[in-house]
Amino acid sequence: MAKRKPSERSHGHAPGGEEPLDLDVTPFLNILFMLILSILAMTSWTQLAMLNVAAPQIGGGGGDGGAAPPPDEASALNLTVFVLKEGLNIGASGATLDGNSEARPGQTLIPMVSKDGQPTYDYKKLQERLIEIKKSFTSEESMIISADGTVPYDVVIKVMDAARRSPDGRILFPAVAFAAGVVG
């Protein structure tokens, strides 16, 4: 038999008809497929994050908890965002919020807006107002959320998102506490 050149040898079948020495990669391929499947199954596709929150403030209760951190002493503003059925409202017991002459703690209601035909809370407007408040109270970082009992959790998270950072990345009011007393 004539010796073949290496370039000819590497091809699948020789013109002469002899079986070439071929590595059987099928089991290897099987293993690879199994590996891919197991990795796909083990990978977590939804990436989670955690939002830190402070303990809810309730009057009664008592109990033997005792592990609650002391309330932030520096927080004198008591900025509170009320999530009502008809919109959002901002209040504060420590100071008046509007720079205007109206000497009352609180602002007008931020009404619901229509998004895709559904009424939703106006988080953008809330954030704009919080940015305005932050300009007057630069050291303040805590905020209390109080909501109607029927308000879904999703809305609470969206309010926290709006209050955490301004669009340009400055920190607004990230230290969120919850008022357990349900409003409305």
Residues that bind another protein (CB under 8 A): 12-13, 17, 25-26, 28-29, 32-33, 35-36, 39-40, 42-44, 46-56, 58, 60-69, 83, 147-154, 156-158, 160-161, 164-165, 171, 174-176, 178, 180, 182
β pairing state of 113-115 and 110-111? unpaired
Instruction: Find out whether 126 and 165 touch, Cβ atoms under 8 Å.
Output: no
In the chain, the N- to C-terminal Cα span, in Å, equals: 97
Q: How far, in Å, CA of 94 to CA of 75, rounded?
A: 9
Q: Kindly state the smallest distance separating residue 23's Cβ from another protein, in Å.
A: 9
Q: How far, in Å, CA of 175 to CA of 145, rounded?
A: 10
Placement of tokens 């109080």 in the chain: 146
Considering beta carbons, is residue 47 or 114 the nearer one to another protein? 47
Instruction: Find out whether 106 and 90 touch, Cβ atoms under 8 Å.
Output: yes
Q: Kindly state the smallest distance separating residue 82's Cβ from another protein, in Å.
A: 11
Q: Kindly state the smallest distance separating residue 104's Cβ from another protein, in Å.
A: 26
Q: How far, in Å, CA of 148 to CA of 82, rounded?
A: 8
Considering beta carbons, is residue 72 or 102 the nearer one to another protein? 72
Considering beta carbons, is residue 28 or 99 the nearer one to another protein? 28
Considering beta carbons, is residue 96 or 164 the nearer one to another protein? 164
Q: Kindly state the smallest distance separating residue 107's Cβ from another protein, in Å.
A: 21
Considering beta carbons, is residue 83 or 130 the nearer one to another protein? 83
